[in-house]
Structure 1
Amino acid sequence: MSPVIPSTMKALVIEDDPRRVEVKDHPVPSIADDEILVKTVAVSQNPTDFKHVDWVRIGRRGSVLGCDFSGIVVKVGKNVTSRKVGDRVSGFVHGGAWPDEGAFAEYLRTPAELVWPVPDSLKHEEAATLNCAFWTAVQALFHPTRLGLVEPPEKAKNSEWVLIYGGSSSVGQCAVQLAHLAGYKVVSTASPRNHELVKSLGADAVFDYKDPEVISKIKQATGDAVKYVLDTISEGDSQRISAESLGPQGGTVIVLLKPQPEATSRKDVKLQHTLLYTVLGREFDYGPGADYPVAPEDRAHMVQFLTKMPKFIEDGSIKPLKVRLWEGGLNAIPEGLQYMREGKVSAEKIVYRI
């Protein structure tokens, strides 16, 4: 028997005058023929969430905040055959942009092909940590128009070096695991307190990003053979260190924030931005002059990768990020967002039960 679905729900909605988020009664979204409706069980928090509140140019008044979720399917569109009512699923949506999309709510809509089945061995709280950060790492490392690395379960034939700048960040932890799984040698940067964590995820060498000799140490450890770079921080001095750490052949540095061409004088280095929202199949703008059209190739790449997720988790190849369960559900999220704004989150994911 299908569950009874209400017409309204509690959701964390962006409001203006003053700019804020507020838990409000909000319509339960309707679904299209290729979509599913999910009853949210757990959600996790990302920097993009508070940025959609703080940056008026990207966050829309009346939209539901939140990107990462895990929950139970309660309704399927008439064309959906891959999911059924009762399935445990997890995924990523573009919170803060539209009133009918967002994870920080009791229910959410999403394309059926853009969720992955959560194995029984994984808690919803853990599953919620493997979406925005994990998918970003997948896109940056493996998409043919980004770094284009060999994609697991295939293995790179040559033991090439990949630099993951910011290996203890959420994206960094996922990227270290993925690059290691794909057979690459991984060098990374992190605060000394997180070196052992990053090594436990598969990094062969880790250095303090604040060390003034960090570039020379990376070059020495890798034989000056870094061929690929993902900069998961993309601000401060990170783009300079990332670019200068590439070997003499040069190459591409994938960045998650705006490229800073002035960061390096090297002409053989390309700084390339990647933005995960392009996988969702919806045109959007990310501020003045930043219009993103529908990108079917980005969506198709992610759809095929998500089919591999359950096996990677079940065989232990991919581990969820450390969960910090923040008590209080939807009502507590504004407090958690402020905690993240203040830079207090380190090597963990803030997760809420809804």
Structure 2
Amino acid sequence: MTSAIPKTMKALITQANKTVKVEEIPVPEIDDWEVLAKVVVVAQNPTDWQYIDTVTNVGTISGCDWSGYIVKLGKKVTELNATGLKVGDHVAGFTHGGTYKDRGAYAEYVKATYDLCWKVPEGTLSHEQAATMGCAYWTAVQSLFHPTRLGLVEPPNKVEKEQFVFIYGGSSSVGMYALQLAHAAGYKVVTVASAKNHALCKSLGADYVFDYRDPDVVSKIKETTKNSLHHALDTISQESTQTLALNSYGPGPGKLITIQPLQEKAKQLRDDVEKQITLIYTSLGREVNWNGIIFKASPEDHAHMAQFLSKTPGLVASGTVKPNPIKVWEGGLNAISDGLQHMREGKHSGEKIVYRIA
């Protein structure tokens, strides 16, 4: 299969006028610790269009989430027989789209560090489903379980006594994975979502679901949690969501993880609650320039994600973690620009848009 790898490939490239265009570029070269995968399906995230619009790294490959099969292994990966990876394996992963000229998901081939792609168990997920377990799944994992984020007990282990965790936005892509993962670890899971998504949230492991529009939602959360809430993840991270989450905490110290910067009003609430943004790109182990803020390369974030990804095949095979619902958008690479515009306009909700590339 290695001999069949072409010299060039089609990829969706960021343009200077804040658009994207399919171009023919070289197939990426891999280093000794990487694998090269033939991309079959990619999944869309808000960060994709946000990078095009606000960062605009001209000439870079867009897209973060992918599923495909290995066509080439780096020298060190081949030597490490314990990795269990081989040419032909169905694998899925996440990459920092809109940042590199040789690394991005919206392409016919993608490269990844060997321990940051996970092997999809045979007979479990389709490529469409596996592609959804990138940005959102990784963010939920890092937010809930990394020792410097919420530091919760990791599945398959379970928390020993009754503890509540609050997930703002249980029907968001990150939220749907966070509900499942926190439930798998034995936590009592509380979330807010639109009324139409309450049944979905409960099916994914939420013990209690409230409507975020309910004027009494904070008092209901405090009553349900017996005023003992100390851990929360805000998967939306606007001013209103951050303040609602902070107002729901019980007395005493706590921690809130957000996926966007803390808003000024939220900064003024609950001095005893630590507030921290998490940025999933740091799990890739490289320095990140995020809107002018430099995050140094984090071997610790890389190592934590790699060890959790090694658990992921078992979580999938057992049915503990299920993929986001999908919406297949026809047209492959050439259609992604339209799909991004659809998301830009706020027309998309409750499903993960995916595209079949091969």
Q: TM-score by structure 2 length?
A: 0.96
Is 1:269 aligned with 2:273? yes
1:223-243 Cα deviation digits (max 9, x unpaired): 112121000000140000011
1:126-170 Cα deviation digits (max 9, x unpaired): 000111101100000000000000001000001100000000000
Letter in 2 for 1:117: K
- Aligned counterpart in structure 2 of residue 287 of structure 1, from 288, 291, 314: 291
Q: Residues 126 and 321 of structure 1 are in contact (CA less than 8 Å); yes or no, is this contact kept in structure 2?
A: yes
Matches within 5 A, 1:247-258: 247-258=250-261
Matches within 5 A, 1:1-354: 1-16=1-16, 18-56=17-55, 59-80=56-77, 81=80, 82=83, 83-120=85-122, 121-263=124-266, 264-288=268-292, 290-354=293-357
Letter in 1 for 2:32: D
1:261: how far off?
4.2
Letter in 2 for 1:32: D
Q: Tell me the percent identity.
A: 55
Q: Residues 260 and 271 of structure 1 are in contact (CA less than 8 Å); yes or no, is this contact kept in structure 2?
A: no
- Which shows bigger deviation, 18-27 or 185-194? 18-27
- Which shows bigger deviation, 213-222 or 61-70? 213-222
Unaligned runs of 5+ in 1: none
1:302-336 Cα deviation digits (max 9, x unpaired): 00000111111111101111010000000110111
Q: Residues 2 and 75 of structure 1 are in contact (CA less than 8 Å); yes or no, is this contact kept in structure 2?
A: yes
Letter in 2 for 1:287: N
Q: Residues 239 and 265 of structure 2 are in contact (CA less than 8 Å); yes or no, is this contact kept in structure 1?
A: no
The 1-side partners of 2:302 and 2:249 are apart by 29
Q: Residues 239 and 263 of structure 2 are in contact (CA less than 8 Å); yes or no, is this contact kept in structure 1?
A: no
3-state DSSP of counterpart to 1:37: strand
CA RMSD of aligned residues (A): 1.0
Letter in 1 for 2:27: V
Letter in 2 for 1:93: T
Moved over 6 A (4+): none
1:75-133 Cα deviation digits (max 9, x unpaired): 11100032211111000000100101100000011101100001122101000011110
Letter in 2 for 1:25: E
Q: Residues 128 and 354 of structure 2 are in contact (CA less than 8 Å); yes or no, is this contact kept in structure 1?
A: yes
1:19: how far off?
1.8
1:283: how far off?
1.1
1:9-37 Cα deviation digits (max 9, x unpaired): 10000011x22100111111100000011
Q: Residues 168 and 245 of structure 2 are in contact (CA less than 8 Å); yes or no, is this contact kept in structure 1?
A: yes
